[in-house]
């Protein structure tokens, strides 16, 4: 397995992640696609991919803007946040999270 940064020009990978986030958390695809295509430094410090045989297994990153703060404003003093963690259901419970 390998870890790499999400490249904002890799539309195919961004769409796959957007599909996961839509299915898991009901985040509109367009929102994820726009966010990861721009990767503004006032939002995303970095976002990583874990790949096996060039297939994305898991993803997550260090973000400044998270949904939790929209609901609980008192948490805005904390951050950045490890967030948007997701593992493909085909790779869960197979120690992908222990790769590092």
Domain boundaries, given as residue ranges, for the chain: 2-90
Q: What are phi and psi of 43, to 5 degrees?
A: -130, -60
Measuring CA to CA, how many Å separate 46 from each of 21, 27, 52, 53, 93? 17, 19, 20, 22, 25
Q: What is the pLDDT of residue 4?
A: 93
| pLDDT digit string, tens, across residues 16-62 | 999 999 999 999 999 999 999 998 888 889 999 999 999 999 999 99
Please state the pTM of the whole predicted model.
0.82
Q: Are 32 and 60 in contact (CB under 8 A)?
A: no
Whether pLDDT at 97 is above 70:
no
**pLDDT the model gives residue 79:** 84
What is the pLDDT at residue 43?
Answer: 85
Q: In what order do the strands lie in the sheet with 81-87?
A: 2-5, 44-52, 55-63, 81-87
Instruction: Over range 9-20, report the average pLDDT.
Output: 96
């Amino acid at each position: 397995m390998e870890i790499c940064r999400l490249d904002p020009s890799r539309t195919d990978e961004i769409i796959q992640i957007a599909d996961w986030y839509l299915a898991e958390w009901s985040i509109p695809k367009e929102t994820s696609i726009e966010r990861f295509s721009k990767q503004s430094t006032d939002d995303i410090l970095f976002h990583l991919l874990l790949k096996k045989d060039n297939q994305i297994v898991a993803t997550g990153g260090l973000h400044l803007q998270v949904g939790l703060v929209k609901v609980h404003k008192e948490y805005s003093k904390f951050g950045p946040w490890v967030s948007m963690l997701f593992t493909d259901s085909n790779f869960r419970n197979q120690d992908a999270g222990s790769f590092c």
